[in-house]
């Protein structure tokens, strides 16, 4: 299992067999062991046992690539469509992905009224209200403005809400926590456009409205939009996919997904929020006291172990790499602690570069599993010092009538057969 490593290197740093994260940077720690081969066939020799793809010229060039047919099971999980039609979600299969970028075709979806088929030549973005000069932009004109790119997660405020259930639900991690994805978004800083329209002195809010049939709209504080919002036109290098807002969407870094209005067509500058259905009846949380939390915009720090996770299987006592994702709407992830003994002891995971604000951070932790039952947990701390809470603490603070902003520590139980289940521990 380990070459060049001393016995001391392999001494667990916490209960349940967690190893020092720095081991991942040393050579010698062999995780899943490869099978050794005895044959030695030269490169230009034809071996009758060669697979068919090695015996003739391969397939043609393609104008737009698609994943291997062997990966056809890596798909978004479509959540039961609610009434009215077009109101629903599809989840990102987080357990099947690596690194920090979500492929555009697997970015989660949340539509309130379906995906509009917008002709970019006819689409307009209007900025009006408390401005010196109302403006109307075509997509063509927006493409000529100075742009910026940022790697940012978008997370629905309702992500992980099954965590409020009395009993832990058993689903793959993506079908539970997959209303979060991370892309490189490129577009025009909103401050440039607002500045061009000239904001009146008394302005403090902006109503952002989409061009879907339901004209989804939300009220946003002007200060945040001036600070770091953008009108995005590109996602992971190509124009935004229809599902994610083509031809353009608002991106509000670190805030709940509903604020990143897709198919953006109007920014109405005002001095008061509009208090529409989507910010009062919904996206507002009732507390145990009977009072409600409103405008809970920021997404608090959160983390998940994506491997091993429910639906996957461990193959006996061996050394494994625990892998996961962490993110915070308040800035960068400062550290992720991992426990293999249900939270009795913790060790710090390795954070893979880059570690960017309001972006997925990939963490890794070497683990010598002894084949006995274990409970895995991860706990994120962000650069503001905010620590992801245990479930008990979150439920105590927010009660059980909540629906949004569930960010408690997640626990996976590993049994002797290597089966993994979701537990409250
Ligand atoms: N116009 C419009 N914008 C919208 C929505 C919508 O239904 N219509 N859904 C919102 C919600 S609730 C979320 S979580 C995000 C989801 O973005 P995505 O579908 O690109 O993942 O878009 C937001 N913007
Ligand atoms: Mo959402």
Average pLDDT, stretch 152-166?
95
Question: Nearest ligand to the C-alpha of residue 155?
Answer: 1
pLDDT digits (tens, 9 = 90+) for 306-337: 999 999 999 999 999 999 999 999 999 999 99
pLDDT at residue 171 greater than cutoff 90: yes
Would you say the CB of residue 266 lies under 6 angstroms from ligand 1? no
Average pLDDT, stretch 5-25?
88
Tokens of 234: 């590109």
**Predicted confidence band of residue 1 (pLDDT cuts 50, 70, 90):** very low
Whether residue 391 contacts residue 279, with contact meaning beta carbons closer than 8 Å, is answered with no
Average pLDDT, stretch 376-398?
96
CA atoms within 13 A on the CB side of 408: 27
Q: How far, in Å, from the CA of 199 to the mean position of ligand 1? A: 26
What span, in angstroms and rounded, lies between the C-alpha atoms of 173 and 310? 7
Would you say the CB of residue 156 lies under 6 angstroms from ligand 1? yes
Would you say the CB of residue 20 lies under 6 angstroms from ligand 1? no
Average pLDDT, stretch 367-392?
97
Q: How far, in Å, from the CA of 424 to the mean position of ligand 1? A: 30
Average pLDDT, stretch 49-66?
95
Closest ligand 1 atom to Cα of 245: 20
HEC secondary structure over the chain: CECCCCCCCCCCCEHHHECCHHHHHCCCECCCCCCCCCCCCCCCCCCCCCCHHHCCCCCCCCCCCCCCHHHCCCCCEECCCCCCCCCEEEECCHHHCCCCCCCHHHCCEEECCCCCCCCCCCCEEEEEECECCCEEEEHHHHCCCCCEEEEEEEECCCCCHHHHCCCCCCCCCHHHHCCEEEEEEEEEEHHHHHHHHCECCCCCEEEEEECCCCCCEEEEEHHHHHHHCEEEEEECCEECCHHHCCCCEEECCCECHHHCCCCEEEEEEECCCCCCHHHCCCCCEECCCCCEECCCCECCCEEEEEECCECEECCCCEEEEEEEEEECCCCCEEEEEEECECCCCCEECEECCCCCCCCCEEEEEEEEECCCCEEEEEEEEECCCCECCCHHHHHHHHCCCCCCCCCCCCEEEECCCCEEEEECC
CATH class given for the domain over 302-423? mainly beta
Closest ligand 1 atom to Cα of 210: 1
What is the predicted pLDDT for the residue at 42? 59
Closest ligand 1 atom to Cα of 109: 19
Q: What is the domain partition of the chain in residue ranges?
A: 124-294, 302-423
Whether residue 361 contacts residue 331, with contact meaning beta carbons closer than 8 Å, is answered with no
Q: How far, in Å, from the CA of 298 to the mean position of ligand 1? A: 16
Would you say the CB of residue 216 lies under 6 angstroms from ligand 1? yes
pLDDT digits (tens, 9 = 90+) for 233-242: 999 999 999 9
Task: Name the residue at shortest CA distance from atom 16 of ligand 1.
Answer: 110
pLDDT at residue 299 greater than cutoff 80: yes
Q: How far, in Å, from the CA of 92 to the mean position of ligand 1? A: 14
What span, in angstroms and rounded, lies between the C-alpha atoms of 254 and 333? 12
What span, in angstroms and rounded, lies between the C-alpha atoms of 114 and 85? 8
Q: How far, in Å, from the CA of 270 to the mean position of ligand 2? A: 23
Would you say the CB of residue 250 lies under 6 angstroms from ligand 1? no
What span, in angstroms and rounded, lies between the C-alpha atoms of 134 and 169? 50
Whether residue 422 contacts residue 411, with contact meaning beta carbons closer than 8 Å, is answered with yes
Is-above-0.85 flag for pTM?
Answer: yes
- Segment among 133-147, 190-204, 286-300, 329-343 with least mean pLDDT: 286-300
- Segment among 2-16, 189-203, 386-400 with least mean pLDDT: 2-16
What is the CATH architecture of 124-294?
Alpha-Beta Complex (3.90)
Whether residue 183 contacts residue 177, with contact meaning beta carbons closer than 8 Å, is answered with no
Would you say the CB of residue 265 lies under 6 angstroms from ligand 1? no
Task: Name the residue at shortest CA distance from atom 15 of ligand 1.
Answer: 257
Averaged pLDDT score across all residues of the chain: 92
Would you say the CB of residue 406 lies under 6 angstroms from ligand 1? no
Percent of the chain clearing pLDDT 90 (strictly above): 81
Q: How far, in Å, from the CA of 189 to the mean position of ligand 2? A: 22
Q: Taking Cα atoms as reference points, which of 238, 224, 232, 250 lies closest to residue 150?
A: 232
Average pLDDT, stretch 161-180?
96
What span, in angstroms and rounded, lies between the C-alpha atoms of 332 and 382? 6
Average pLDDT, stretch 255-259?
97
What is the predicted pLDDT for the residue at 257? 98
pLDDT at residue 280 greater than cutoff 90: no
Would you say the CB of residue 112 lies under 6 angstroms from ligand 1? yes
Would you say the CB of residue 263 lies under 6 angstroms from ligand 1? yes
Would you say the CB of residue 212 lies under 6 angstroms from ligand 1? yes
Task: Name the residue at shortest CA distance from atom 21 of ligand 1.
Answer: 109
Closest ligand 1 atom to Cα of 257: 14
Q: How far, in Å, from the CA of 82 to the mean position of ligand 2? A: 14
What is the predicted pLDDT for the residue at 30? 63
- Segment among 281-295, 311-325, 375-389 with least mean pLDDT: 281-295
What span, in angstroms and rounded, lies between the C-alpha atoms of 85 and 384? 41
Percent of the chain clearing pLDDT 70 (strictly above): 90
Closest ligand 1 atom to Cα of 211: 1
What span, in angstroms and rounded, lies between the C-alpha atoms of 323 and 97? 11
Would you say the CB of residue 108 lies under 6 angstroms from ligand 1? yes
Longest CA span, the chain:
80
Decide whether 124-294 matches 302-423 in CATH topology. Answer: no
Q: How far, in Å, from the CA of 402 to the mean position of ligand 1? A: 20
Burial 380-396 (b: 16+ CB within 10 A, else e): bbbeeebbbbbbeebbe
pLDDT digits (tens, 9 = 90+) for 329-373: 999 999 999 999 999 999 999 999 999 999 999 999 999 999 999
């Amino acid at each position: 299992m380990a070459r060049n490593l001393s016995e001391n290197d392999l001494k667990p740093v916490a209960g349940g067999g967690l190893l020092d994260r720095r081991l991942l940077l040393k050579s010698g720690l062999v995780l899943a062991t490869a099978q050794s081969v005895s044959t030695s066939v030269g490169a230009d020799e034809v071996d009758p046992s060669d697979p068919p793809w090695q015996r003739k010229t391969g397939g043609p060039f393609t104008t737009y690539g698609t994943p291997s047919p062997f990966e056809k099971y890596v798909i978004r999980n479509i959540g039961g469509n609610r009434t009215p039609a077009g109101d629903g979600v599809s989840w990102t299969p987080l357990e099947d992905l690596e690194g920090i970028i979500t492929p555009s075709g697997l970015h989660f979806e949340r539509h309130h009224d379906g995906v509009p088929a917008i002709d970019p030549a006819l689409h307009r973005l209007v900025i009006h209200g408390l401005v010196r000069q109302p403006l109307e932009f075509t997509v063509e004109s927006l493409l000529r403005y100075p742009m910026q790119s940022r790697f940012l997660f978008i997370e629905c405020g309702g992500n992980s809400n099954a965590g409020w259930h009395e009993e832990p639900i058993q689903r793959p991690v993506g079908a539970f926590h997959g209303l979060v994805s991370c892309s490189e978004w490129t577009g025009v800083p909103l401050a440039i456009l607002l500045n061009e329209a000239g904001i009146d002195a008394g302005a403090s809010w902006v109503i952002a409205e989409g061009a879907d049939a339901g004209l989804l709209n939300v009220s946003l504080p002007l200060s945040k939009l001036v600070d770091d919002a953008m009108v995005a036109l590109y996602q992971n290098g190509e124009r935004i996919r229809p599902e994610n807002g083509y031809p353009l969407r608002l991106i509000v870094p670190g805030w709940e997904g509903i604020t990143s209005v897709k198919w953006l067509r109007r920014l109405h500058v005002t001095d008061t929020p509009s208090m529409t259905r989507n910010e009062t009846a919904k996206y507002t949380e009732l507390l145990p006291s009977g009072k409600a939390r409103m405008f809970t915009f920021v997404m608090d720090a959160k983390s998940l172990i994506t491997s091993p996770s429910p639906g996957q299987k461990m193959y006996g006592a061996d050394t494994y790499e625990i892998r996961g994702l962490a993110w915070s709407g308040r800035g960068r992830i400062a550290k992720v602690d991992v426990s293999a003994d249900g939270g009795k002891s913790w060790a710090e995971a390795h954070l893979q570069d880059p570690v960017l604000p309001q972006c997925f951070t990939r963490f890794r932790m070497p683990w010598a599993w002894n084949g006995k039952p274990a409970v895995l947990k991860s706990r994120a701390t962000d650069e503001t010092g905010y620590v992801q809470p245990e479930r008990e603490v979150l439920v105590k603070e927010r009660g059980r009538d909540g629906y949004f902003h569930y960010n408690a520590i997640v626990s996976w139980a590993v049994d002797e057969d290597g089966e993994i289940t979701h537990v409250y521990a």
